[in-house]
Each structure stands twice: as C-alpha cells, then as structure tokens.
Chains A and B, each alone.
Chain A
C-alpha cells in the first residue's frame, strides 16, 4: 500500500493510472477526515476555553458598559460612562500608583533575591537541600494561611516583630494599621512568599548552563563577579524573561494576602487594582465600574506581555 507521501510524489513524477477526478475526491475525503479528527480532539478543549476563559472576558467587557448592582434583574446599558469615571477619578489614579509600586517592588525584589539565593544554592554548601525546601515552602502554602501567620508576626503588642524591635531598643511600628507601614508590610510578605519559586527556577536554569562556556571564561581569567554578570546572567536571559512575565502577571493579580491582612486599608493604602476590582463589585455593588477596571487590568497585562515579547525577547539568548 502506498503511503500518503508516495501518493503525492507519484502524481508529480509519472502519469497516474487514476483520472484527475478520482484524485480530487480522495483529496477531499482526506481533508474531511482530517477536519473531523481535528474537531473531535479540539472541540472539548475549545468548549472549555470558550466557556471559562473567552466568555468571561466578553461578558466582563459587556458589563463594563452597564450600570448594575448584582441584584437588579438586568444591567442598564450606559455606554462608556464607567470608563470616563474611571479615568477621571483621583482614587483610581492612587490605586494605579499603588499597583505599579507593588508590581515593580515585588517583581524586582523577587528576581534579585531569587537569583542571589539560586547562586548560593548552586554552591552546594552543606544543608543546601534542606534550606532550598524551606525557602520554596511558602510558595505552596495558601496565601490566606500566610497572611494569618504574618498578621501575628506583625502584631505590635505581642508579635515577633515587637520582640525583635525591642531587642534593639526600638518600638515596633503598627505594621498593618498604620497607613505608611501597611504597604511595606504586605510587600515583605509577598516577596517572602514568592522568592522561593524564583530561586528554584533560576537554580534549574543555572544547572542547565553549558559547563564548557563557564570553564572557558574561568581559564580566560574571569573572576566570579565577571563570570556572573557577563556569562551567567546573559545565559539565564530566557529564564529571566519567563520569570518577568509570570511574576508580573501574578503581582498584578495579588489578592489573598491583601484580603487577609489589610482588606485594602487602612484608608486604601494597600488597595491595588485587583483589590479595587473586588471591592467595587462585592463591597460596593458597582459591577459595571468594577468590570471597567477589570478590562483595564486585562489590557494592561496584554500590552505588557506583548511589549515584552516584541522588544525584550530580542535580547534573550536561547
């Protein structure tokens, strides 16, 4: 029996015994079979993606053009009013400033601390395996549990922070109830939770680096710092690229720690975009306004990801 490849080749090389019409029918039948098979495998997944990913996005877009309180029977179409209100609101501007601060600090600090830890782990000092596990553990613990534990640690009356501060003769700040300390407190917790994951991913990247390149650099007299900045960091650029995208998206969506520890307060000091969206929808019943903020977040994340792929990826060495 001839293979598909042989049939194609046969048509071009020698006069085929079958008439052209028979070939066309065969070709169409193969196409139909292929389409049916494709449909069979793809439709269940497409249906799931359509219902649980694309439909909510479209639905959110529609809701952002309405005024609705969740309870009334039907949303009232109000066009772009929610967006106009959003972009002229000083509160939303404050929220965006907090969000950008959050994302930059969390992503930046996680990457810097993560790569530093990974470098430490790659030295294979005694106890590295245990320490790696301990550092990674917060990543797999629920944010709500972490928030509850850190609330106790930060308690200015009987928390661990109080003991540590008193040991050096200082008074512990009111971490989560002082508007100027609440955001730093949450940033500490968020970085602590995420740095283990970044370190493990960097460590995996380091272990995959070609040893001959590192060896050659050493023979050429590169010291540790030069080796790290000129060889290791550039070779880790695909890992960094991956981490920047995933950590940025995760930072934008941070919610559980904020919900448990401060509820966006005090006085909105820790209200990031994700909390703002929740608060508007579920505490203020401003579903349309919340949906408009959700759409803005979607567009921001899409644009950031596209820009990263368009410009940053060029500098990545695979």
Chain B
C-alpha cells in the first residue's frame, strides 16, 4: 500500500486525512427548518435515569444558583417524567458565548437564560422557539407581568419569558445624609442630585473623603436611563439619537458632576465602595438590594432614579428562552420546567430568595412578597418604580457592538473628562456599519 511513496507524500496524505473530517464538519450544516440538535452531555443521577432529560443553561452562581436548584429539586419531587439539569456559565456573557458556540457544534440546551440585551440577537438568527402556542387555559400569558412579558414579545409571539428581571434603584446612606443635613429621600431631579453633591463636598468619614456617587464604567445600563430622563435616548428604532441635544446633556451632566464638581468618580466596584462608606450614593440594580442591605453597617435608603425632563428607568436582567433546535419532545418537557418555575411557590421562592422583581402574577400577589415589602420599604420602592420602567432602546438590544461602544464613550468621559458630544458622535459613527449589518434581518423579523 505504501509502495513508491516518499516520506513527504506520506506526510501530506496523513495531514489531509487528519483534517478532512474536521473541515467537513464546519459551519452551517443542519440549521434548516425542522432541524434537531443534540443535547449537551452531562450527568443524570441514577434515580432519574428513566426520565426525559432537560438541560437548562444558567448564568446564576452562588446564592441565586442555590435558590434555582432548590426549585428544580422541588420540580423533580412534583412529577416523575422529567429531569432538569442546570449547567452554569458565570455571567450572561458567558452563557451567550457558550450558546453561540453550541449552535455551531449543533448541541444545544433546551432552555437558556439570556439577558435583556442578548436574547434579541438569537431571535434574529431564528434560534429561539415561539412560545405563544405552549400557553393554555391552565397557564396563560396573564400569569406574567404584562410589562415584562411585552419585552419578550415580537410580532405577537412570545420568545423570551421574564424571570430574573430588575431595574436600577437609587441607593443612599441614610446616616450620612442625616449627618450632612440632606433630606431623607432620593433627589427628585438630576439637578437636585448635583446640588446635593456640592453640599457634600469636603465631607470625610474615617479619614476618607466621601464622594456623592461612584460610577461604573462596566455597564451603560444607568446611562441608558439618564438619557431618557434628559429627554434623549440611544435610538428610535434603528435611527440613532446619540447626538441629540438631550442625550449629550445627559452625558454632560455626568462629566460636570465628576470633573467640575468633583462629586463623583469612576469606580471598579461601586457597591463595595458604597458599603465601605466611600461614596454616599450609588445607582444599582434592585437585584443587589438584599446583599447591599446585609453588608452595609448603616441604614440603607432607596428611592426612584432621579428624573429631569421626564423619568428614565430601564429594565434589565434575564429571562428564559427555549431553543428552537431541541426536539419537540424536549421542548414540551422544557415548557413544563418553565411552567413550574414561573408559577406557584417556586415563583415566590425565587423572587423572595434572589431579590429580583416579581415578574409573575402569583409572585406579585403573594403574602410573602407583600410582607417583605412591608418590613423593608426599599423593596416596595423597587416594585412601585416599575410603573415607569421600560425596556432598552432598539439599538442597545439588537446591535451587539452597542454595549462596548457605549462603555468606551462613557469611560472616556468618566475617566478622562472627554467631550461628551464628540464621544457620542464617535460612538454613533462607529455603530453605523453595525446597524447596516443587522438592518435586513431586523426589517424582516422585527418591523
């Protein structure tokens, strides 16, 4: 067989033989209508070996992961046909990257947690299962908070269900506010916030100068809210509004607050700084309310985010989606898991255990959640603020480059005091190509 072959020829043949199967498996095959992909591998305990396995990819770790697992354990006790395995990838971005890779590997989970600014991309790529047809008389769309459910609805179909949803809150150090003589409430407007920052100037505690606000540069979520409050925004549909006067004014406010007044600074860990007493206020997720309250050695007060021309409260957090490429049998089983998690005691336990917003009717109306809100008014503030909350602008949802571009723009202003208008102009111009890239899909699947 090897007669007459030189060593080089043998080498070349070997290389081709080794690479051919791998190259043959690249890209795209098997993504047509009705295509079914395998499940990721994992462990099934012996006692559940005869059950249908459902794989749920989650971003939640530590305490929240324990709460989720506790509810899945209850699901296992409540029925005898389905076993749900949670596979954890820390953070929404890790789940996103893993899910993208899994589509190429043609091995997808049945349910995935996806953040509010990521699920839309999987929807555009036709990777998600429409869920409207799964609802029935016993579990209808009215099981969910209408506002949150609407965020996951496109063209009259539900694609993404609210689960670990949150909004930002205004957190303040009540003891410190009393010491300085500031009112025991959140500022009503950003202008008032700025005035309070000036009043706090020069205040120090335990040898530390205390700032009014620690900003995060790792998330543009809060900036999205303030653009609305100033009357601007990121976009109207796919039409950019970044360079509008109102949006520029929102970033100019931050620049002046940090660099002119010295009332704020860019922090690696705003929550940590708040708990440590180096900043008097932060804008932070409602999901952090429990942990911040427990960690702080002072009275934590919460209020609505400041307004300006109007209110500006963005929703955030994660929801549940079912993958289109799971088999019908797996998708039905996945729906049973979702139904269990978002109804009855599990829904209440999840909301109370994690501190996320109540997204289901049963959670909103539960005695436990009412009792907690009565015991700690801050939880009630979070619920009340929901009335003014809204989902992210379209560009922030559908254009993946938007978030890193926004982070660059706000970091340039927060850190280096760059000109807000030119930072936002750069951001807008950098996003033009990206918007054009998704426009055909967007027009077809969303508009």
Contacts and interface: CB of A to CB of B under 8 A. Distances in A.
B424 to A, nearest CB: 13
Interface string B1-19: 0110111001100110111
Given A71-B127, A157-B273, A180-B416, A266 B14 contact: no
Interface in A272-299: 279, 282-286
A158 interface: yes
B415 A177 contact: yes
B10 to A, nearest CB: 5
Interface residues of B, number: 54
Interface string B306-332: 000000000000000000000000000
Contacts of B278: 157-158
B415 A266 contact: yes
A228 B273 CA distance: 50
B22 interface: yes
Contacts of A74: 27-28, 31
Interface stretch (A51-59, A109-117, A190-198, A234-242): A51-59
A232 B415 CA distance: 47
Interface string A142-179: 00000000010001011000000000000000101111
Contacts of A177: 217, 265-268, 414-415
A243 B277 CA distance: 47
A70 B19 CA distance: 22
B23 A266 contact: no
Contact of B14 (A43, A151, A180, A268): A43
A312 interface: no
A73 B30 CA distance: 9
B101 interface: yes
A284 B412 contact: no
Contact of A51 (B11, B19, B400, B418): B19
A46 B27 CA distance: 24
Most buried by B among A50, A55, A69, A73: A73
Given A155-B268, A180-B416, A266 B411 contact: yes
Interface of A: 28, 32, 34-36, 38-39, 42-43, 46-47, 50-51, 54-55, 58-59, 67, 69-75, 91, 151, 155, 157-158, 174, 176-180, 263, 265-269, 279, 282-286
Contacts of B121: 69, 71, 285
B262 interface: no
28 contacts: A32-B2, A32-B3, A35-B5, A46-B11, A47-B17, A58-B19, A67-B437, A69-B400, A70-B101, A71-B127, A72-B125, A75-B27, A174-B265, A177-B217, A177-B415, A178-B266, A179-B416, A265-B217, A265-B407, A265-B411, A266-B217, A266-B411, A266-B412, A267-B408, A267-B411, A267-B418, A284-B401, A285-B401
A184 to B, nearest CB: 14
Contacts of A38: 7, 10
Nearest to A166: B207
A267 B11 CA distance: 49
Nearest to B211: A157
Contacts of A158: 276, 278
